[in-house]
Amino acid sequence: MSDLLNSLLDDARLWRGHRQLATEPTPEHTGFATLDKELGGLGWPRGALSECLLDGPGIGELQLVLPLLQRMTKRQQCVFWVNPPFTPYAPALARADVDLGQVVLVRTENQPDLLWTLENCLRSQATGLVLAWPDSLAARDIRRLQLAAEAGQSTCILFRSRQEACQSSPAALRLELVPDDRLGLKVNILKRRGGWPGQGCRLAMAARVQQDVTEASTVIHGPWPDHQSG
């Protein structure tokens, strides 16, 4: 190449089209102000895996991702539910303003299919969010999924058992979810990018059953005594 061209290329005033940098993606806020604050304003990482570790269903784990779900489907990005333990209940999702046209439920039969599915979903441009409930995942597999998520710039949230908390994982964000006694959810940050782990916060989740927390202390007596006697 000629010297003239080289000197031109060195000139900082020359803007070269093919070296453009993509604009910084806006963070995927969790929708919970307290949790966003703990996560340093980064929210759910895009192009990386997140893990939610929990003991059992029904503690508000879907409530935690619901704001993200609403936003993704509104943006016409596809949300895949891979091997959920129960049926995502369509009337409840519709009530929560989730566009069901963007929700795809995927069931796989075996572990290789599951990994293949996750990897393909994560690599695709069309995917906004992948929610997955894998039985067990080796660290090797998680790293592979992590790379796939990076390639596709999609968000992936794995729901795993709390026993995995002691295992190390390449996921970018690890949250431990524990229910508290006032219908809320205690979120412990086990690992996050750009900050120290160990923080935690309490999220009020009582709204999912249309309850005020103050009201929750007054016990509504159902027909329980009847059952105990019978």
Partner 1 sequence: MPWLYLHFQHLLLDHIARAREASAPLAVLCQGSRCVLQACPRAMARGVQPGTALKTALNLAPELVMVHADDNRQARILEQQAHWLYRYMDRITLYPPDGLLADAGSVRRLYGGLQPLREALQKALGERQLHATLTTGTTPLAARLLARAGADCFTEGTEVMATNLATLPLAATELEQRTLQRLTRLGLTTLGELQQLPAAELARRLAPETLVHIQRILGQRPDPQTSWQPPHEFRQRADFGLPVEKAQGLLFALQRILADLESDLQWRQQDTDSLLLILHHYRQEPSHLQVRTTGPEHRAEAFLNLLRIRLEQHPLQAPVETLELRVTRFLHRHTATSTDLLGETRDTGEAWHTLVSRLQARLGEQALKHLAPAADHRPERAWSACSLARQQREPMPEHLPLRPLWLLSQPAPLQVAPEEWLSGPERISGGWWDGERVLRDYYIARLPAGQLAWIYRHNQQGWFVHGWFG
Binding site for partner 1 (CB under 8 A): 20, 22-23, 55-63, 66, 76-78, 84-96, 100-101, 103-109, 113, 116-117, 120-121, 124-127, 178-181, 183, 208-211, 216, 219-224, 227-228
Comparison of 78 and 137: residue with beta carbon closer to partner 1: 78
Comparison of 100 and 139: residue with beta carbon closer to partner 1: 100
Closest CA to 173 of 152, 154, 162, 188: 188
Minimum CB separation of residue 4 from partner 1 in Å reads 29
Comparison of 124 and 199: residue with beta carbon closer to partner 1: 124
Minimum CB separation of residue 95 from partner 1 in Å reads 4
| C-alpha Rg value of the chain to the nearest Å | 22
Closest CA to 51 of 204, 181, 167, 140: 167
Comparison of 29 and 186: residue with beta carbon closer to partner 1: 186
- Nearest-angstrom CA–CA distance, 156 and 115: 13
Residue pointed to by tokens 């980064």: 42
Helix (H, G, I), strand (E, B) or coil at 82: strand
Minimum CB separation of residue 107 from partner 1 in Å reads 5
Minimum CB separation of residue 34 from partner 1 in Å reads 19
Closest CA to 167 of 35, 55, 53: 53
Comparison of 37 and 74: residue with beta carbon closer to partner 1: 74
Residues 6+ apart with CB under 8 A from 44: 28, 29, 30, 50, 68, 155, 157, 173
